[in-house]
Chain A
């Protein structure tokens, strides 16, 4: 089992609300990721980080923001949620030692914006 945790697992919020999805890992991994996945659809990388104070945008444009103040923590924030943000958000981490590294995923956070 991977030591990567996401909270909340499920959340229903109103349009315009601010939400932060928490992600923590205890494996000491440098690289962390946020993916967005709609049911039955492929994973889309929205943010990643090489380490503390590093944040990069992924392939899919997202209105969310991330921060990496501590190695183990990589929260994702939506300042003003909209129904189009309804999706599953998956946090992941890996050892950044080059190619071929296993990515460990969290259980996901299901967000519904009404």
Chain B
């Protein structure tokens, strides 16, 4: 069965460091992968999209990589700030099917 796994544990890092979140998947061939941010009690907000033929995508302090051979995406936040603290979800899209991971909770400490 299709499975999406994100960092199983919450991630705690110091302000200024780079946060790296992982999204692994099995039995799936997504054409696109997206990352969302979700704050407590709010709906997810779209951050970045990367296509299967793209290796890397950047947006300001965010960087996403997509390795279809390893079936893995990495999400990096450089120069992290306490305001980056949230849960980050990856979503895999193939044709008309979209599936979310359970998310990784990131806490950036001052």
Contact = CB atoms under 8 A, between A and B. Distances in A.
Contacts of A100: 31-32, 34, 49, 51, 93
Interface string A23-46: 000000000000000001111000
B10 to A, nearest CB: 10
B51 A105 contact: no
Interface residues of A, number: 20
Interface of A is mostly: loop
Nearest to A96: B96
Interface of B is mostly: strand
Interface stretch (B12-20, B38-46, B56-64, B77-85): B38-46
A86 B101 CA distance: 22
B49 A102 contact: yes
Interface of B: 31-32, 34, 41-46, 49, 51, 89, 91, 93-96, 98, 100-103, 105
